[in-house]
Amino acid sequence: MSNLFLFTFALLWVLVIALGVVVYALARQVGVLYERIAPAGALAMNQQLKAGDKAPEISVKTLSKQKLNLGKPALKNTLLFFLSPDCPVCKEYLPVITSLSHAERSHLDVVLVSDGEGPDHQAFIKEKKLQSFPYVLSEEVGKKYGVSRLPYATLINKSGIISSMGLVNSREHIESLLNAQDLNVASIQEFLEKQSNPERTLYKQA
């Protein structure tokens, strides 16, 4: 009986050690997979403009009659968020835009851009409590900034240069635009690509 107990006890320890080795190996594989499929940033799919280009300069008026000079040098960075009242994803991420606007207000202005009829957008602004944002209706802005799908965002730095841009459909995508600017790359995809290829320069030339 004593020998059987010792054998069973030893066997259990062997199984525990084997299980520990398996768990460790799996953890390493998960880490490798995470690096290979790191969370994607905003998808840069603009065929008209690229990060580093001079932002198109357009003078517009908001629905509240405020005059804005988009693309010109300013005191703060500017985030253009292109949306539509008919876009479910746009509506879903408006709270993220609102939170971002409050958190970054010391150095970032957020401008909402759409097109269509004024009354529809006035109702949308009231429904979603967007009165604090400059809200622009201009088909021209969307065309000049190469917007083909929504929701889309373009970050313009204080010098009037496009820092980053892309299709955004998650909080991570929106935040990636600011992260890309901090890393001095056009997009998070570019950062990840350069990480995987150390022979390339990590940062863009100023």
Element at 118 (helix H, strand E): helix 118-128
**β partners of residue 161:** 54
pLDDT of residue 174: 82
Q: Is the pLDDT of residue 187 over 60?
A: no
pLDDT of residue 5: 65
129-185: per-residue pLDDT in tens?
999 999 999 999 999 999 989 999 999 999 999 998 888 887 888 888 877 666 665
pLDDT of residue 90: 94
Q: What is the CATH topology of the domain spanning 58-196? A: Glutaredoxin (3.40.30)
Question: Which pTM does this prediction carry?
Answer: 0.70
Q: What is the rounded average pLDDT of the residues 88-97?
A: 93
Q: What's the rounded Cα separation, in Å, for the pair 173 and 18?
A: 41
Q: Measured between alpha carbons, how far apart are the two ends of the chain, in Å?
A: 77
Q: Is the pLDDT of residue 190 over 70?
A: no
Residue, of 81 and 22, whose pLDDT is higher: 81
**Phi, psi (5° rounding) for residue 162?**
-70, 120
Return all residues near 55 (Cβ < 8 A) that are at least 6 apart.
Answer: 70, 71, 145, 154, 156, 160, 161, 162
Q: Is the pLDDT of residue 204 over 50?
A: no
**93: DSSP letter:** T
Residue, of 187 and 34, whose pLDDT is higher: 187
Q: What is the rounded average pLDDT of the residues 90-97?
A: 93
Q: What's the rounded Cα separation, in Å, for the pair 90 and 167?
A: 11
Whether the Cβ atoms of residue 65 and residue 142 lie closer than 8 Å to each other: no
Cis peptide before 151 (omega within 30 of 0): yes
Phi-psi label, residue 103: left if phi above 0, alpha if psi -120 to 50, beta otherwise = alpha
Whether the Cβ atoms of residue 174 and residue 97 lie closer than 8 Å to each other: yes
28-39: per-residue pLDDT in tens?
665 544 343 334
